[in-house]
Structure 1
């Protein structure tokens, strides 16, 4: 026996719901198609990396020679087309993961540059712009530079000047707004940012 949640709605409201469903059906079909495509990509990568039952069980000790962990990291790197990946339950938050990534690339006297203005509060503590947490980047002699946003958008004119700093080792883009009032940057805008960074740094 089938049951529809619309059966308990007043007829007028049920008709409106049906009308909206028909209107958005093309978009729902697109999403379903994308889901199936991504699912197929993951299944293909499971086959490519020979994932077996033994890779899906917990391991003990320090995780040395944990082939399941190694394979899942290889799959993530393959899926996102990166050189490598770290997929660990030890990462407690997004800030934790970003911090590990930044500290792996930056050394004393290097400069971390944010194209998208001052980062959100917890990253500020990691950099040493706020709070007094020991071991922050400032304490390690790592410099920070940013080009503040202009009306919620990247200030490309000033960013071009700021990127001339030869000590810049890492250029960061913060997509999310954090606690700011600007809108989240779209992927198209980030694509434009990346092209701009590559062009400026190549000329420099």
Structure 2
């Protein structure tokens, strides 16, 4: 359909005008995500980068954002700047300040509020309906769990949010942080009514091949606004050279479903292995999954360190290094990260991390092939148990 050919891999530099391969990549992504349009660029450095660009591009002074999935992932919080977590009792609403930057949404006059999920981890329709305001511009949804104990949402759950928003606040758009969720299910949130989704190419859709970058898919008018926030008004997606990375990005999405399948199987194996050893795991081995992340509850910081050290030792790259807990931008405590990957920070490759704070949860994800990820899980259990 996109008419990919060898010429699609040509190197484009400078402004990047008339980059045929780049345009074809965006057609491939739009088709795969069942979206009107797509923006896929190597110039995005992370999921947080593309999400922040979407938020800044779509929101303006006086707008309101309602987060339907509680407090989101740590690294996006400074972009929000300030967030009010609503409660059934208005007097118990809590406001958290994350950044004094003039670039934050709060500093530009955007209000950000959040409602928690239900006790079972589903979007709470009653709380959301009560919180939607006439000037609520966006319902923001984080599909994955982030560094929390909540479950990942399934794409089909977006359809209920779509019906609710259309009934209560027809002018409100739904944006989904789709990181870690791509190709885990047979359809993406855009197929169920999300207006916009975004994610990183060094996660699922890049398959460990794309060296950097991120994507935005959804309504054409919204994608155009994000493109102008990425570059400049009037220029939008017309510039931004692919710099010879078109082949890597295309090969990445070509292999992504197969690689995600292997990583999902590895997560199920790790869940079953640690569950049988007496550890609390989520999701359970038999649960339906909406993302790649597997959590395993450690008893203390020492076990969390041992877990990550073992995953690092099983990696194909930098296996001889030992991960050291350290401060990281966007987090309020030390983080330990194991990632012996071909692409720096790639979480579709076997990786593990966790914040050194109670309840000392290890977050395991990725694996370019099942057998290497299986080895990592087995070695991690040995190290944690001191065998």
TM norm. shorter chain > 0.5 = yes
Note closer, same or farther for the CA distance 1:52–1:86 as it changes in structure 2 (3 Å cut). Answer: same
SS in 2 for 1:198: helix
Given candidates 65, 68, 72, the residue that maps to 1:115 is 68
1:159 aligns with 2:133: no
Structure 2 counterparts to residues 17-96 of structure 1, below 5 A? 45=1, 49-96=2-49
Verify: 1:142 aligned to 2:110, yes or no: yes
Alignment TM-score, normalising by the size of structure 2:
0.38
Distance 2:19 2:141 in 1: 33
Q: Which runs of 5+ in 1 are unaligned?
A: 1-44
The structure in which a higher percent of residues are strand is 2
1:126 and 2:79 matched = yes
Question: Residue 195 of structure 1: CA displacement?
Answer: 2.8
Contact 2:102–2:108 (CA under 8 A) maintained in structure 1:
no
CA deviation after TM superposition for structure 1 residue 113, in Å = 1.4
The structural deviation recorded for 1:126 is 0.5
Measure the CA separation in 2 of the matches of 1:107 and 1:78: 30
The structure that has the greater radius of gyration is 1
Question: Which ranges of 4 or more aligned residues in structure 1 deviate by more than 6 Å?
Answer: none
Q: How many residues were matched structurally? A: 156
Deviations 1:75-102 (A, max 9, x none): 2123322222111111111111111122
Structure 2 CA distance, aligned partners of 1:202 and 1:112?
Answer: 14
Q: Aligned pair in 2 of structure 1 residues 153, 51: CA closer, same or farther (>3 Å)?
A: closer
Q: Report which of the two has the higher share of helix.
A: 1
Higher RCO (CA < 8 A, seq sep 6+): 2
Q: Does the residue aligned with 1:65 lie in a helix, a strand or coil?
A: coil
Which of 137, 145, 154 is the matching residue for 1:169?
A: 137
2:158 partner SS = helix
CA deviation map 1:33-92 (0-9, x unaligned): xxxxxxxxxxxx2xxx33222211221212122111112112212332222211111111
Give, in whole Å, the separation in 2 of the partners of 1:128 and 1:159: 21
Task: Give the structure 1 partner of residue 176 of structure 2.
Answer: none
Look up the SS of the partner of 1:70 in the other structure: helix
Asked if the contact 2:63–2:137 (Cα under 8 Å) also holds between the matched residues in 1, the reply is yes
Structure 1 residues 203 and 138: alpha-carbon distance in aligned structure 2, compared to 1, 3 A threshold: closer
Deviates more, 1:184-193 or 1:139-148: 184-193
* In 2, Cα distance between equivalents of 1:157 and 1:107: 27
Query: What is the deviation of 1:144?
Result: 0.9
- 2:5, 2:50 → 1: CA distance? 28
**Whole-Å Cα distance in 1 between the matches of residues 34 and 117 of structure 2?**
30
Q: Tell me: CA distance 1:81–1:191, structure 2 relative to 1, closer, same or farther (3 Å).
A: same
> 3-state SS of the aligned residue for 1:139?
helix
Between the aligned partners of 1:50 and 1:149, the Cα distance in structure 2 is 43
